[in-house]
């Protein structure tokens, strides 16, 4: 059971980790993170607790597991999934860019300010629950409002980004966040269709902007939604901050493991690891990103874009 002085998120729920989201590359994550013994282990994108359950199962009772997520539904599901964990579990509603502060708070609460950080995991992108529950994360749900907030309490929404961003800046955003080469056409189509309030209106605006016989329309829609979601949640800036902070906190031999789902995220992680190698602070354990095998993709199609990179503190 969880330690009495380490309360799990204090809302109850019935959804388990697998019902909430099937985590990608579970065996590979555990193999590279190498959870075991004591110290602090951080899951920066807790979700429903799928990876967390595997990590906690390998930790000793004196270990400290910290799970971070902005989504209260995720924390609720993870609280259920981790009820039987033998280590000390702390779940916090926060962004992973604030992980250093969360770690300090937990250390102070326990009176263990020197507790070493031995491992950190990021599983980026969206959970299946977020895709399925109709908050504008998937272009398949035409009736969904243009929201895309991972934290329901933040003020910026997808509607605000799409309706208020100047056309040239919107085109740059779509190109930089999703590598969409037709970004200027797409941005022009969005501006022409303003105001947009639903996913269906966004889909129609994007499709009207594309050449009539264009064969990759769904790819453009996916990348456009991805780019807007990244902008709404500030994902790239937050990831850079989080990697830097956790990389600095790791003890020698500690590990960073990152699952990314598109080229922008993967490039950012690759550059961070490469710089760490140049600086002599990190050993890169994955010269090339690892990918899920065909069997996993058949069982969990949403894992098909996953790329795993790992590094160890020197």
Per residue of the chain (314 residues), give pLDDT as tens. Answer: 333 333 333 333 333 444 456 889 999 999 999 999 999 999 999 999 999 999 999 999 999 999 999 888 889 999 999 999 999 999 999 999 999 999 999 999 999 999 999 999 999 966 444 444 444 457 678 889 999 887 888 889 999 999 999 999 999 999 999 899 999 999 999 999 999 999 999 999 999 999 988 989 999 998 999 899 999 988 898 899 999 999 999 999 999 999 998 888 899 999 999 999 999 999 999 999 999 999 999 998 888 889 999 999 99
> Which pLDDT score, from 0 to 100, does residue 163 have?
97
Closest among 186, 170, 173, 171 to 219, alpha carbons compared: 186
307 Rama sector, left if φ>0, alpha if ψ -120 to 50, beta otherwise: beta
CB 99 within 8 A of CB 91: no
Cα separation, 198 vs 145, in Å, equals: 4
Q: How far is CA 199 from CA 54, 85, 136, 144, 267, in A?
A: 36, 40, 6, 6, 28
Question: What domains, with CATH codes, occur in the chain?
Answer: 17-129+235-313 (3.40.50.150), 132-233 (1.10.150.170)
CB 116 within 8 A of CB 39: yes
Distance of CA 95 to the CA centre of its chain: 10
């Amino acid at each position: 059971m969880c330690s009495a002085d380490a309360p799990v998120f204090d809302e109850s729920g019935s959804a388990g980790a697998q019902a909430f989201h099937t985590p990608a590359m579970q065996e590979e994550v555990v193999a590279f993170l190498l959870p075991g013994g004591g110290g602090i282990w951080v899951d920066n994108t807790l979700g429903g607790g799928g990876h967390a359950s595997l990590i906690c199962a390998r930790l000793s009772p004196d270990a400290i597991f910290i799970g971070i997520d902005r989504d209260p539904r995720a924390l609720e599901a993870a609280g259920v999934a981790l009820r039987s964990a033998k280590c000390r579990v702390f779940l916090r509603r926060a962004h992973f860019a604030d992980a250093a502060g969360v770690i300090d708070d937990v250390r102070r609460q326990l009176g263990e300010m020197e507790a070493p950080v031995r491992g950190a995991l990021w599983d980026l992108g969206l959970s299946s629950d977020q895709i399925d529950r109709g908050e504008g994360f998937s272009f398949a749900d035409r009736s969904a409002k243009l929201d895309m907030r991972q934290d329901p309490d933040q003020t910026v929404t997808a509607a605000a980004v799409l309706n208020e961003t100047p056309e040239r800046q919107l085109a740059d955003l779509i190109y930089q966040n999703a590598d969409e080469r037709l970004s200027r056409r797409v941005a022009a189509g969005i501006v022409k269709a303003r105001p947009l309030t639903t996913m269906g209106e966004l889909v129609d605006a994007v499709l009207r902007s594309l050449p009539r016989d264009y064969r990759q329309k769904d790819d453009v829609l996916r990348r456009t939604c991805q780019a807007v979601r990244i902008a709404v949640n500030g994902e790239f800036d937050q990831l850079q901050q989080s990697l830097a902070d956790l990389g600095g906190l790791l003890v020698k031999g500690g590990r960073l493991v990152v699952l990314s789902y598109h080229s922008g995220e993967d490039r950012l992680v690759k550059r961070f690891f490469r710089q760490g190698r140049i600086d002599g602070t990190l050993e890169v354990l994955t010269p090339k990103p690892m990918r899920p095998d065909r069997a996993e993709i058949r069982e969990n199609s949403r894992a098909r874009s996953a790329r795993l990179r790992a590094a160890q503190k020197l």
